[in-house]
Structure 1
Amino acid sequence: MNNNKFLWATAICALFVPLAVHAQSTAPSTGTSTSSPAIFDGTADYRTFSIGINGGGLGAVSPTGGSNDFTKWKADFGYGAYVKWQLLHSLALRADYLGGKLTGNNDDKLGNGTTSNSPYSEFETKLKWTATLSAVATVANINWLHRKNFVQIYVSAGGGIAGYSPRITPVGGAEVDYKAGGKNIQELVIPVGAGLKFKLSEGINLDLGYTTYFTDGDNLDGYVHGSQKDKFSYGYAGLEFVFGKHSKPQLAFSNPAAILYDKLEAQKAATDQVQARLNAEQVTNDSLSANVARLTADQDGDGVSDFFDKCPGTPAGTKVDGSGCPLPVPEAPKVIEKVTVTEEDNRVVREAVRNLEFATGKSNILPHSYETLNKVAELLTTRGFSLKLAGHTDNVGSDSKNMILSKDRAEAVKAYLVGRGANPTRIEAVGYGETQPIASNKTPQGRQANRRVEFTIY
């Protein structure tokens, strides 16, 4: 079998294998799948990254444009690798590398029986590298007949750069470099391909494919001739290794139809369980309703059911206790005289605050404060007022000592007023330390204003 027929057979196999082998014949499960990822939960539950290595036949030929500028092409070995990111069930991005050698000559006769009049007899091109990025689309990924896919058909197209160096042999001459010194040529390439992928295990796939590379130049074979640009093809077989946890399925081989079926079955089973539980609860509720009706019957209308009523037949409107018996009639409430604080009362309190002084750093009340404090004590004893005393200090000294001093000073005022006949239960004494200044502590006048005990009568 000649080389031309060999590569054409590879292309036909990659493009036209029947869709009947698309899926493995596995009967749908009657149970609910608990391991399949949710169909609308993104790609987190799938394996999406993989790498592949492959090898196969390289030829300076394409199904769409013959063998470039020579009449006969030869099949040579090529090798490649790729990294793939599966975006969706049926769409991926793939970055490919390809290398190898391309050769050809003018041994075949033309269609009119003559040989080529080319000045060159043969060529050899080292394909040093080809770097491309392609979109890969999986055909018929959704399978409504079978649950598990183990074969997929894919097509791809993209773009990239190829680096190569041709050598040509003139008729009757010696082989020479197309570019002096064998310098590398870089050209834009457009790869278009198709293939089959077989799932060997959850992490390994067998990859068979065929790709034609359309170059943006006519120098691939070292001979610029005619208006058509050169092309080359790669038929390959390789292995793809999928990264990720073994428990996660491959996104590319997951069947959305089967996953959707599993989710619907799971929802139906859950709904059936809820309905069965509701039916059981309804039976229980009916029994409870009968018991509740018996327990809530209240013939005398006193709010206590007959089952617990120890005093049945209570007259309507009678207030009863928890056992259904009448409550004692309460005594008439005492009238409490409302106490009103007058402006004169507030003046007496303000005067006492102005005259109140303590020994420096202590809670001892200075004697000249007694007269106005006596008037406050008289208000408390004769008018029934309540009083709140709030002690404050400046910021001189530690926080803890100031808090204690402010509390002690408020308590000292309370003790003095109690000593003058005031009710101690109606006097509240609290200390705030230096936390509530009313003036700046940076001046003597401000610190003096902050050292105070505030009176509030009510």
Structure 2
Amino acid sequence: MNYSTLKKGVAVSFVALMGATTLANAQETPATSSSAKVFGGRGQYRSWSIGVNGGVLSPFLAIGGTNDFNRADVNLGYGLSLRKQLGHAFGLEGNIFRGKVSGTNKQVAGALPAGIKDFETEMQYSIDLRGVVNVATVDFLRRENSVNFFVTAGYGLVAYNPIVNGVDNKGKFGEDKDKDFVKEAYIPVGAGVKFKVSDRVSFNLGYTMHFIDGDNFDGVYAKATTKDKFSYGYAGLEFSLGSKSKPNLDWVNPLALMYDELKDPSLRQEVEALKVRVSSVEKSVEDLKKDSDGDGVSDQFDKCAGTPAGVAVDGSGCPLPKVEVAVVDASNVTGFERIQFEFNSSVLKTDSYPTLDKLSSVLRDGGGKVTVNGYASSEGTAAYNLKLSKDRANSVKTYLVNSGVNAKQVITKGHGEANPIASNDTEEGRIQNRRVESARD
């Protein structure tokens, strides 16, 4: 990669990377008031500004380097700028300026052709796009800044006419020797400081070095790998554009805004109110779980408070009716009334509760075991009906266990479509086959 390509790549990559990063993290959000919030987006700030500047142009750089001429003249330069601030720390700035750069040799350098003593290069225009980074402020801990330091870098194009020893070659440039100016790319790199004059105006001092992608800016080809360059030291005024009800994004301190939000009395009050609401909800949850008599039904829904320990209760917390052992002898129980189910359902019907309560009482008071057999009608596949019959048998077991029967006393089996007690060719017969039967082991 040659020097020219490297310079272009570095400049374009810098501007593109910084711009993309800032845009990804700072979405436009409409302003809702004149009070800026740190996470509110660029829409709540003034972010456009225009500037004018003037200063001194020189063929020499502050960092040194080789030059074809050993003395620089002081010449005036002037320009305009337009900047879009994309975040607290980064913006994009377009610049255009004009002027002339000149220099002389007290004695002709050995590397120059004999007789070349001075040059004067007229810049028709110099235009570039730069990324501007705010790197520090002398009062960063204050709510608003009044002094900012910045660095810049970018990519530009300059059109110029070099005059050597007073000879003007204007109109003789280009491949066809008919152009008034030479056009070449350059990379501007600079730094500066800005002072806040008012909410709208700032005073800027800056210095920019321009590295040109060519060796003809001073009208002399040194026949080496060096490139020409020039510098611009300037002072200027910058004017913020936009609604006066919005603060200028350049001068707002994000850390101070964050601190303001954390100390906002209304926000603190809202947080305290939220804590109270959370405590209220937690208390309500605890009240819902409270079960004073330990019967498994919370006090909120317990209609029979103070049920003695060990007494089986229904869903409302009231004791289930007991069936005297003398009425039904567990040792003689061989079965009970069939429990019927709706089509494709394993949910117990309410009319089966009395039968199940009676069996529960027998098992709890008299012991023994029962086998609960589930069945299904012939609709659907055999595999599905087998599962449905098991679910029906388990529904009965669940009811008995919840009423106080030991789970080990109840054995469940699913038989699917097997052992129909009526024809599956009629709906009446299928209704009878959707059943659960029980037999004592």
TM-score by length of 1: 0.48
Amino acid at match of 2:221: V
Alpha-carbon distance in structure 2 between the residues aligned to 1:250 and 1:242: 7
SS in 2 for 1:68: coil
| Pairing 1:120–2:116 present | yes
The aligned counterpart of 1:447 is: none
The aligned counterpart of 1:81 is: 80
The aligned counterpart of 2:129 is: 133
CA 1:118–1:192: 2 relative to 1, 3 Å: farther
Alpha-carbon distance in structure 2 between the residues aligned to 1:258 and 1:35: 16
- Pairing partner for 1:177 from 169, 178, 182: 169
SS in 1 for 2:256: helix
The answer to whether the 8 A contact 1:56-1:78 is kept is yes
**How far has the Cα of 1:175 moved from its partner?**
2.9
Alpha-carbon distance in structure 1 between the residues aligned to 2:161 and 2:82: 26
The aligned counterpart of 1:263 is: 261
The answer to whether the 8 A contact 1:90-1:141 is kept is no
| Pairing 1:186–2:178 present | no
The aligned counterpart of 1:44 is: 43
The answer to whether the 8 A contact 2:34-2:44 is kept is no
What is the percent sequence identity of the aligned residues? Answer: 39
Amino acid at match of 1:41: G
SS in 1 for 2:258: helix
Amino acid at match of 1:46: Y
Alpha-carbon distance in structure 2 between the residues aligned to 1:244 and 1:95: 18
Deviations 1:195-224 (A, max 9, x none): 111111111111110000000000000001
**How far has the Cα of 1:227 moved from its partner?**
2.3
**How far has the Cα of 1:64 moved from its partner?**
3.4
Alpha-carbon distance in structure 1 between the residues aligned to 2:76 and 2:163: 17
Alpha-carbon distance in structure 2 between the residues aligned to 1:63 and 1:73: 13
The answer to whether the 8 A contact 2:138-2:148 is kept is no
Deviations 1:351-387 (A, max 9, x none): xxxxxxxxxxxxxxxxxxxxxxxxxxxxxxxxxxxxx
SS in 1 for 2:227: coil
Matches within 5 A, 1:8-87: 36-66=35-65, 68-87=67-86
Amino acid at match of 1:52: G
**How far has the Cα of 1:61 moved from its partner?**
1.3
Structure 2 unaligned blocks of 5 or more: 1-32, 173-177, 280-302, 304-441
The aligned counterpart of 1:164 is: 160
Q: Runs of at least 4 residues of structure 1 off by over 6 A?
A: 114-117, 276-279
Amino acid at match of 1:243: L
Alpha-carbon distance in structure 2 between the residues aligned to 1:47 and 1:70: 45
Alpha-carbon distance in structure 1 between the residues aligned to 2:236 and 2:146: 16
The answer to whether the 8 A contact 1:154-1:194 is kept is yes
Deviations 1:81-101 (A, max 9, x none): 111000010000000001001
SS in 1 for 2:42: coil
Alpha-carbon distance in structure 1 between the residues aligned to 2:143 and 2:115: 60
- Pairing partner for 2:236 from 211, 235, 238: 238
**How far has the Cα of 1:146 moved from its partner?**
1.8
TM-score by length of 2: 0.50
The aligned counterpart of 1:374 is: none
Deviations 1:401-454 (A, max 9, x none): xxxxxxxxxxxxxxxxxxxxxxxxxxxxxxxxxxxxxxxxxxxxxxxxxxxxxx
SS in 2 for 1:102: strand
Alpha-carbon distance in structure 2 between the residues aligned to 1:41 and 1:132: 31
The answer to whether the 8 A contact 1:206-1:239 is kept is yes
**How far has the Cα of 1:60 moved from its partner?**
1.0
- Pairing partner for 2:145 from 133, 144, 149: 149
The answer to whether the 8 A contact 2:100-2:120 is kept is yes
The answer to whether the 8 A contact 2:138-2:147 is kept is no
Alpha-carbon distance in structure 1 between the residues aligned to 2:132 and 2:67: 27
SS in 2 for 1:261: helix
**How far has the Cα of 1:192 moved from its partner?**
0.3
SS in 2 for 1:88: coil
Q: Greater CA radius of gyration, 1 or 2?
A: 1
| Pairing 1:198–2:195 present | yes
Amino acid at match of 2:73: K
- Pairing partner for 2:207 from 207, 210, 225: 210
Amino acid at match of 2:202: N
Matches within 5 A, 1:206-355: 206-225=203-222, 226-266=224-264, 268-272=265-269, 275=272
SS in 2 for 1:262: helix
**How far has the Cα of 1:109 moved from its partner?**
8.4
CA 1:45–1:106: 2 relative to 1, 3 Å: same
The answer to whether the 8 A contact 1:191-1:212 is kept is yes
The answer to whether the 8 A contact 1:165-1:179 is kept is no
**How far has the Cα of 1:271 moved from its partner?**
2.7
Structure 1 unaligned blocks of 5 or more: 1-33, 283-300, 302-458
The answer to whether the 8 A contact 2:108-2:116 is kept is no
The answer to whether the 8 A contact 1:141-1:255 is kept is no
RMSD (CA atoms): 2.9
Alpha-carbon distance in structure 1 between the residues aligned to 2:249 and 2:138: 12
Deviations 1:321-340 (A, max 9, x none): xxxxxxxxxxxxxxxxxxxx
Alpha-carbon distance in structure 1 between the residues aligned to 2:206 and 2:195: 11
Amino acid at match of 1:36: S
CA 1:67–1:73: 2 relative to 1, 3 Å: farther
The answer to whether the 8 A contact 1:56-1:235 is kept is yes
**How far has the Cα of 1:182 moved from its partner?**
7.2
Amino acid at match of 1:103: S
Alpha-carbon distance in structure 1 between the residues aligned to 2:218 and 2:271: 73
**How far has the Cα of 1:278 moved from its partner?**
9.3
Alpha-carbon distance in structure 2 between the residues aligned to 1:108 and 1:147: 57
Amino acid at match of 2:62: P
Alpha-carbon distance in structure 2 between the residues aligned to 1:45 and 1:142: 25
**Number of aligned residues:** 240
Alpha-carbon distance in structure 1 between the residues aligned to 2:273 and 2:128: 59
**How far has the Cα of 1:65 moved from its partner?**
4.2
Deviations 1:222-246 (A, max 9, x none): 0011321000000000110110111
**How far has the Cα of 1:273 moved from its partner?**
6.9
The answer to whether the 8 A contact 1:72-1:108 is kept is no
Alpha-carbon distance in structure 1 between the residues aligned to 2:239 and 2:48: 9
